[in-house]
Amino acid sequence: MFDKIKNFFKRLFSKDKLLNPGTIIEEPKSVSDKNQFQDNIVVKEDEERLRLLKIQEEFSKGNILEEDIDEDDLENLHILYDEQISKIKDSIENYKNETLKIMKELKSS
């Protein structure tokens, strides 16, 4: 049972590595068959999000000071941090619920 849950999360996170949260999937306008459809899917990264992630990385390394960041970028970074914190809190809550579920199943066994 534990292996199934572990494998589920491995598969879930391995897919996340392939497509970043800021990834946009653009579909072609006209597609005649499934093979052509699969060949024509274009994946574009959200350039603004990638730029903000780069600024965030440089800021966390200490290469950029807060005073050096534009006010608009600073506001967008705050939004980005809030989104990341929210996702982490949701992930923690999911792990907590799964753990509680497993504990209940083990107690009832």
Q: What is the pLDDT of residue 47?
A: 87
pLDDT at 102: 95
In the prediction, which pLDDT does 55 show? 94
- Residue ranges of domains in the chain: 1-45, 47-109
Sign of the C-alpha dihedral computed for residues 20, 21, 22 and 27 taken in this order: positive
Contacts of 31 (CB under 8 A, 6+ apart): 37, 40
The residues, any chain, with a CB within 8 Å of residue 21's CB and separated by 6 or more, are: 49, 87
- Confidence (pLDDT) at 109: 77
pTM, two decimal places: 0.55
3 state DSSP class of 61:
helix
pLDDT along the chain (109 residues), means of 10: 67 55 56 63 75 93 92 94 96 96 91
- Kindly state the helix (H) or strand (E) to which residue 38 belongs, with its residue range: helix 34-40
